[in-house]
A and B are shown apart, each in its own frame.
Chain A
Amino acid sequence: MIRIEGLRHRILDIPDLVIGAGRTAVIGPNGSGKTTLLELCAGMETPESGAVTLHGRPRSALSIGWVSEFPDRTMLFSRVYDEIAAPLRFCRLPCPKVDARVRQAAEALGIRHLLSMPLRDLSGGEKALVAFAAAVIRTPDILVLDEVDSHLDEEALRQVLGMIRDAGIPLTLICTQNMDAASEADSVLYVVSGTVRHQGSPEDVFPLLSGTCFYPPLWRLTRCR
């Protein structure tokens, strides 16, 4: 669980917010503060005022997976294999176990053929998949994905969501501009101008957005004017 109290930080002004277990979609216009909120929830920023508590524990006691909206910015190594293996190597898992986990993750995401390639030779979508694999491979306590899906085709997105479900990660935050995907999350946060305008299940939140383009396209198709 993530608890936010009395938060004022850059554009954000959030008096009180609790994000529960499961998959939460963070949606809203460009520049509304979604990435800033995600950075706070990943423990990458300290709030200017107020508090952000992650699972009621200190940040140093948690493992957190993070994929930036700029996938290039999270890359540390030059080879795909090393990038995905790094989080396991950093916690000193034995090499054979690291190898097995890396290959298993790559298989599940359909990127096994990329393992020996230099990261600079990958396409945008492939980079996003590698960044995701590295973020998820340690089964983090919190997983934060900032618009990773904007680089992915439908099949790749399905594999990513399947992997989040199967990995048993307790809390995932996904910022997305894909409202059909957001409508399948456990809960939705609609952020506008630094404030959380709506929060709740997709069934609670999206009807409030029916007059906007944030209403899921598939929902819009199921009824005529």
Chain B
Amino acid sequence: MQVALRDAEIRRGAFVLRCDAAIGEGVHLVSGPVGSGKSTLALLLASILAPDSGSVDRHGVSSCLLSLQFPEYHVTCSTAAEEVLSWGLKPDPVLGRAGLAGRGQADPLTLSRGELKRLNLACVFSCSPDLLLLDEPFSSLDCAAKVRVCRAIEARKGGITIVFSHERAVLPRVGTLWEMEGGRLSRVGDVPDAIPRWRFAPQYLRHALERGARPANIALTDAREALCRIRD
């Protein structure tokens, strides 16, 4: 299973997104500054946008799902329960998973942003697409909900999972790090070897690296364990 971008370009005024990459099975994290093109890349990989030149080829990928940065853009129904039904899912278990048991009759747009995000992600993780694209899955979630999203990402069996995020505190264990800057996608490399080269590493990881620790992955517990090991 692979998504291959061959000189894929999207041009919008002065902004140019240009990608040349092969993305295989596993969990990938794409980080980069605001406006660097992360969401545009997600739309390109989801085939919602077509490249102006170059190509995006999927090999062995039979299903794809994109969770948008703004959960309100996903809303198509007037109650939370209907919203879940529109995904072809049974409302009660999904609402329970979203921590919204008994709130099925609530208008999705009256939920808090964190609750709406939880509803969207509960629907997303009830499906098992080959290619899962998560644009800012942690935004607005409280730390307990972020941890649950990390576990759901790590529990995916096979397939390609790509996380686009600015998250600085609660990150899942990943296989490959990517950076996006000025519309250019670059592969930092596989974890753990690539971690010291990752320019957008969260503060806790930089703190550990600066003290000579070599975390096995990018989660807070990895940084903590690596730090404790060198102190012992």
User: A residues within 8 Å of B by Cβ?
Assistant: 28-31, 35, 69-70, 72, 113-114, 117, 121-126, 128-129, 147, 150-156, 177-180, 212-214, 217-218, 220-221, 224-225
Name the residue in B14, B32, B33 with the highest tally of chain A Cβ atoms < 10 Å from its Cβ: B33
Residues of chain A within 8 A (CB-CB) of B16 are none
Residues of chain A within 8 A (CB-CB) of B12 are 121
Q: Given A123-B35, A125-B34, A218-B204 in contact, is the A180-B169 Cβ separation under 8 Å? A: yes
A124 touches B39 (CB 8 A): yes
A153 touches B34 (CB 8 A): yes
A147 touches B34 (CB 8 A): no
Query: Taking the nearest CB of chain A, how far is it from the CB of B84, in angstroms?
Result: 18
Produce 1/0 per residue, B205-218, CB < 8 A to A. 00110000000000
B227 close to chain A: CB less than 8 A:
yes
B227 touches A218 (CB 8 A): no
Query: Taking the nearest CB of chain B, how far is it from the CB of A200, in angstroms?
Result: 20
A29 touches B168 (CB 8 A): no
B147 touches A213 (CB 8 A): yes
B207 touches A123 (CB 8 A): no
How many chain B residues touch the partner (CB < 8 A)? 49
Name the residue in B34, B35, B40, B112 with the highest tally of chain A Cβ atoms < 10 Å from its Cβ: B34
A180 touches B168 (CB 8 A): yes
Cα–Cα distance between A214 and B111 once the two chains are bound (Å): 22
B228 touches A31 (CB 8 A): no
Cα–Cα distance between A11 and B232 once the two chains are bound (Å): 48
Cα–Cα distance between A178 and B33 once the two chains are bound (Å): 17
Query: Taking the nearest CB of chain B, how far is it from the CB of A92, in angstroms?
Result: 32
Residues of chain A within 8 A (CB-CB) of B115 are 30-31
A151 touches B227 (CB 8 A): no
Cα–Cα distance between A178 and B200 once the two chains are bound (Å): 16
B197 close to chain A: CB less than 8 A:
no
A–B Cβ pairs within 8 angstroms, 22 of them:
A31-B112, A35-B112, A35-B113, A70-B70, A70-B72, A124-B70, A126-B35, A128-B34, A150-B139, A150-B166, A153-B31, A153-B32, A153-B33, A153-B34, A153-B166, A154-B166, A180-B168, A217-B169, A218-B207, A220-B220, A221-B208, A224-B228
Produce 1/0 per residue, B12-35, CB < 8 A to A. 111000000000000000011111
B173 close to chain A: CB less than 8 A:
no
Cα–Cα distance between A170 and B39 once the two chains are bound (Å): 36
A177 touches B140 (CB 8 A): yes
Give 19 new A-B contacts, CB below 8 A, not counting A124-B39, A128-B34, A224-B224.
A30-B115, A30-B142, A70-B72, A113-B14, A121-B12, A123-B38, A123-B39, A147-B139, A147-B140, A150-B138, A152-B34, A154-B202, A177-B141, A177-B143, A178-B169, A180-B204, A217-B168, A217-B202, A221-B224
B203 close to chain A: CB less than 8 A:
yes
- Within 8 Å by CB of B139, from A35, A114, A151, A154, lies A151
Cα–Cα distance between A178 and B32 once the two chains are bound (Å): 18
B33 touches A156 (CB 8 A): yes
- Within 8 Å by CB of A224, from B13, B136, B144, B231, lies B231
Residues of chain A within 8 A (CB-CB) of B202 are 154, 217
B223 close to chain A: CB less than 8 A:
yes
Query: Taking the nearest CB of chain B, how far is it from the CB of A55, in angstroms?
Result: 27
Residues of chain B within 8 A (CB-CB) of A154 are 166, 168, 200, 202-203
Residues of chain A within 8 A (CB-CB) of B192 are none
B186 close to chain A: CB less than 8 A:
no
Q: Given A150-B139, A151-B166 in contact, is the A125-B145 Cβ separation under 8 Å? A: no
Cα–Cα distance between A214 and B143 once the two chains are bound (Å): 7
Residues of chain A within 8 A (CB-CB) of B204 are 180, 217-218, 220-221
